[in-house]
Each structure stands twice: as structure tokens, then as C-alpha cells.
């Protein structure tokens, strides 16, 4: 497959495993075992049972009638916002906690920025009765108090990362340090399709349940198992990778990825990694990164904490370079307006991350018979405070 990872962990020019020597044993153990485990019948059985009975899958593929009418095209929403904990992230954490059990790990660590991945990780650790430590930047702990409280309620220990800008990148560094010091009993659950090989491929496969379901659901509703367009927002890229996965080699399906332009591409305050990024190495992977001429990472900005990441998964850099996917960047105000619009047109309050994706309806033209599938990656509850302030509700 043209868009699959090769045995060294590369998607074309991107990916790999650029890690300190101290991490070799951990990464090597994962690399040797992940495919066999996640393809095993036992794993599939446990994974599918939990996705169905605990997460609430399959999530609906909902035909958005009023939105379709307004834009004179056929729009479906893949309702990942209806997953337990409110977003797609739990598909990955359920998979990785089962993998950790298979590898006899007794302890879980994770990084989190906005706290969504931290909550999804703390949730599955509670479910399995496994110790959980979440690393989070000091600044983010202050900004995301409700999610910190959730993680604590779920029994996780939240540790403050006090270095650098005290945000996601620094929390990731702390988590990697912890892993080096605890190589035998600990599994590190990374929250998106980023990090050293095999994480990008592993997380993509776990999230690919999204496109697997879309195929079945579209066949039922439209008599063909593929759409004309797939649309998703991209932070690290996991909900997008999950939506695209089973369609990557079907060139009839056009792929659109939407990244956050913050206050505007040229404002100096954005998270538009593809538009602004240059090739570099961060968190163990070669990919496009927002960096200055000296290779220093530039602090990203977006009103949505989940898209506020200076890198992007190597699969997406490859999809961009090969022009398999079209990348669009959308700024804060466009995304916020769509958060309100989707609420009032369809009765669905989306996460601000998710809202970014819908902006393409204003800038691209579609035919009446085109079938579009948008990934509704998460619900807006967590963003209520931001919506309230922004719209003076």
C-alpha cells in the first residue's frame, strides 16, 4: 500500500524512530509485538467488545438534512462526539490499554495538553485497575481545571511539567523521561498519530475503526461504500487518520484535512503546521514542524486546545507531499462561527476542533450528488466556557 508505513516506520520521507538510546528497549519491544497483538483474535474480541459495550460503538453516520439542504449537497456526520468521554480519543486508549495488558505492563503514563487525552487515558486505567500518571504542563493545568479534576476523580495522578513553555511539548518530554526510568513495567500511551515508530501506525490502526464503520454504514444508506469527500480536522492527526485509513488507496475519494490557523496564517499566532512547517525532528519522528530558522520550535496557538500542536503526524506530512490530501487552514473566528452554526442548524454543539472542518463548506464548491463525510471528532461541552466568553452567551 502506497500510504502504509514501511518496516522502518517511514511514510515516504517522514516518520522513523529518532529516539535516545535509553528508549531503544521500550520502543523495540513495542515494534516487535504490536502488530501480532492487535491482529490476534483475542485482542480483536476484547477490543470490539469494549468498543461496543463501553464506548458505545458503532457511532451513528448521521445524514445532516438541514445542512445538506443549505449547501445543496449530501452531508453525513460521523458521530465520534457520541463516544464515551466525548471524543474519538478513547478508541486509541482502549486499544493501547489492552496492548499494555498483553505486554504485562503494570503502570501507564501519558502526556496531555488540553486534558482530553489525559481523561481518556485515566478512564481506561480505571476500567482496568491500572496505575496511571498523567504529565501536563503547569500552564495547561491552570487553563484546563475541569479536565484536571476529571483525571483526579478517575484516580489518576497528575504531574506538573515545569520546564520550557510548560505546555504539551514539555509534558511529552517529561513522559519520555519517565519511560526511560521505568522501562520494564510501564507503557506510554501516546494520544495521537505522532511520536516514534510504531506509534503513528499503531494509533492509526486503532482509530481506523472509524472508516471501517463508515464503509458499512454508507453501503447501507447510499448503496456504495465510499464517499466523494472525507473531511476532518487535524491536530496531531488521529481522528483524520482513522477516517481516511480504509480509503487511502481509493483515489475516487478526495481527502480534505483542516488545520488551525489561529489568528491567521501570517499573524505569528497559529497552529497551521502544514502551511508554515519545515521538515524537522520532534518527539522521535521526522515530520513537518513549526520552527524558526535555528530549528527552535515555535509555540503554536489556536483557540481550540486540541489543535494547538507545533507538529503533525508523519502520515499527514506524506499525504500532503504526495498531494493525496488537500490541506486547508481555518482561523479561530471561522471555526467559532461554525460552532454556533452547527448547533443551530443540526442541534449538535461540536468541539471547537471539530467546528474547524465545516468551514470548507464556505470556501469549496460541491455538486448536488456529492457525498461528503465529516468527522464529528468531539462534543462541545468541554468548550462551553470558551463559547460563553466569545459569544457573550
Stretch of residues binding ligand PLP (CB under 6 A), selected from 18-26, 33-41, 165-173, 235-243: 235-243
323 is catalytic: no
- What residues between 277 and 306 interact with ligand PLP by CB under 6 A? 306
212 is catalytic: no
Binding residue for ligand PLP (CB under 6 A) from 116, 270, 329, 359? 116
Specify the residue, 102 or 336, whose C-beta has the smaller distance to ligand PLP. Answer: 336
367 is catalytic: no
Binding residue for ligand PLP (CB under 6 A) from 19, 75, 87, 151? 87
Interface with ligand PLP, residue 359, by CB under 6 A: no
* Pair 260, 308: CB distance under 8 Å: yes
Which residue of the set 74, 78, 80, 111 is catalytic?
111
Host H or E run for residue 15: strand 14-15
User: Measured at CB, which residue is nearest to ligand PLP?
Assistant: 378
Binding residue for ligand PLP (CB under 6 A) from 239, 270, 331, 359? 239
The number of residues that bind ligand PLP (CB under 6 A) is: 19
Q: In a 10 Å sphere around its CB, with 0-12 CB exposed, 13-18 middle and 19+ buried, how is residue 375 labelled? A: buried
Specify the residue, 99 or 233, whose C-beta has the smaller distance to ligand PLP. Answer: 233
Query: What is the rounded radius of gyration, in angstroms, for the C-alpha atoms of the chain?
Result: 19
* Pair 175, 206: CB distance under 8 Å: no
Calpha distance 348→78 (Å, rounded)? 12
Specify the residue, 266 or 385, whose C-beta has the smaller distance to ligand PLP. Answer: 385
First to last CA, the chain: 49
Task: Give 235's contacts (C-beta < 8 A, 6+ positions apart).
Answer: 192, 260, 271, 306, 307, 308, 309, 353
- What residues between 201 and 220 interact with ligand PLP by CB under 6 A? none
Q: Minimum distance between the CB of residue 129 and ligand PLP, rounded to whole angstroms? A: 25
Interface with ligand PLP, residue 85, by CB under 6 A: no
Task: Check whether the bond before 44 is cis (ω within 30° of 0).
Answer: no
Calpha distance 225→217 (Å, rounded)? 7
Interface with ligand PLP, residue 328, by CB under 6 A: no
Q: Minimum distance between the CB of residue 128 and ligand PLP, rounded to whole angstroms? A: 22
Interface with ligand PLP, residue 235, by CB under 6 A: yes
Which residue of the set 89, 105, 166, 286 is catalytic?
89
Specify the residue, 73 or 95, whose C-beta has the smaller distance to ligand PLP. Answer: 95
* Pair 213, 45: CB distance under 8 Å: no
Calpha distance 21→234 (Å, rounded)? 31
- Single out the residue of 328, 30, 78, 85 nearest to residue 203, CA to CA: 30
Interface with ligand PLP, residue 272, by CB under 6 A: no
Interface with ligand PLP, residue 236, by CB under 6 A: yes
Host H or E run for residue 387: helix 384-391
Stretch of residues binding ligand PLP (CB under 6 A), selected from 157-165, 218-226, 348-356, 384-392: 348-356
**Angle formed by the axes of helices 332-346 and 384-391, nearest 10°:** 100
Grid cell of 135 as nine digits = 504529565
Which residues of the chain form contacts with ligand PLP (CB under 6 A)?
A: 87, 89, 116, 192, 233-240, 306-307, 351, 353-354, 377-378
Instruction: Give catalytic residues, as residue numbers.
Output: 89, 111, 377
Amino acid at each position: 500500500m502506497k500510504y502504509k508505513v514501511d518496516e522502518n516506520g517511514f511514510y515516504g520521507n517522514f516518520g522513523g524512530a529518532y529516539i535516545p538510546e535509553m528508549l531503544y528497549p521500550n520502543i523495540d519491544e513495542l515494534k516487535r509485538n504490536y502488530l501480532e497483538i492487535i491482529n490476534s483474535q483475542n485482542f480483536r474480541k476484547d477490543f470490539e467488545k469494549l468498543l461496543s459495550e463501553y464506548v458505545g460503538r458503532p457511532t451513528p453516520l448521521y445524514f445532516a438534512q438541514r445542512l445538506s439542504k443549505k449547501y445543496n449537497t449530501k452531508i453525513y456526520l460521523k458521530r465520534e462526539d457520541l463516544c464515551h468521554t466525548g471524543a474519538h480519543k478513547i478508541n486509541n486508549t482502549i486499544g493501547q490499554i489492552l496492548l499494555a495488558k498483553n505486554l504485562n505492563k503494570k503502570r501507564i503514563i501519558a502526556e496531555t495538553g488540553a486534558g482530553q487525552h489525559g481523561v481518556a487515558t485515566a478512564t481506561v486505567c480505571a476500567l482496568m485497575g491500572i496505575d496511571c500518571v498523567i504529565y501536563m504542563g503547569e500552564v495547561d493545568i491552570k487553563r484546563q481545571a475541569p479536565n484536571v479534576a476529571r483525571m483526579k476523580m478517575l484516580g489518576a495522578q497528575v504531574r506538573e511539567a515545569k520546564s520550557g513553555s510548560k505546555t504539551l511539548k514539555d509534558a511529552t518530554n517529561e513522559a519520555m523521561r519517565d519511560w526511560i526510568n521505568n522501562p520494564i513495567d510501564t507503557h506510554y500511551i501516546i494520544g495521537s498519530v505522532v511520536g516514534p515508530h510504531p506509534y503513528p501506525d499503531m494509533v492509526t490502526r486503532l482509530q481506523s475503526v472509524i472508516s471501517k464503520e463508515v464503509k458499512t454504514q454508507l453501503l447501507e444508506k447510499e448503496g456504495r461504500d465510499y464517499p466523494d469527500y472525507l473531511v476532518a480536522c487535524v491536530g496531531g492527526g488521529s481522528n483524520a487518520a482513522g477516517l481516511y485509513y480504509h480509503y487511502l488507496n481509493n483515489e475516487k475519494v478526495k481527502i480534505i484535512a483542516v488545520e488551525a490557523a489561529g489568528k491567521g496564517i501570517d499573524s505569528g499566532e497559529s497552529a497551521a503546521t502544514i502551511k508554515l512547517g519545515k521538515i524537522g525532528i520532534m518527539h522521535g519522528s521526522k515530520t513537518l514542524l513549526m520552527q524558526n530558522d535555528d530549528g527552535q520550535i515555535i509555540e503554536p496557538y489556536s483557540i481550540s486546545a486540541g489543535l494547538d500542536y507545533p507538529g503533525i503526524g508523519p502520515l499527514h506530512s506524506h499525504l500532503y507531499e504526495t498531494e493525496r490530501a488537500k490541506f486547508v487552514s481555518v482561523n479561530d473566528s471561522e471555526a467559532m462561527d461554525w460552532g454556533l452554526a452547527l448547533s443551530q442548524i443540526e442541534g449538535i454543539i461540536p468541539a471547537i476542533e471539530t467546528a474547524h472542518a465545516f468551514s470548507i463548506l464556505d470556501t469549496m464548491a460541491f455538486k448536488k450528488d456529492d457525498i461528503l463525510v465529516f468527522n464529528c471528532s468531539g462534543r462541545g461541552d468541554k468548550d462551553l466556557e470558551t463559547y460563553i466568553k466569545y459569544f457573550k452567551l
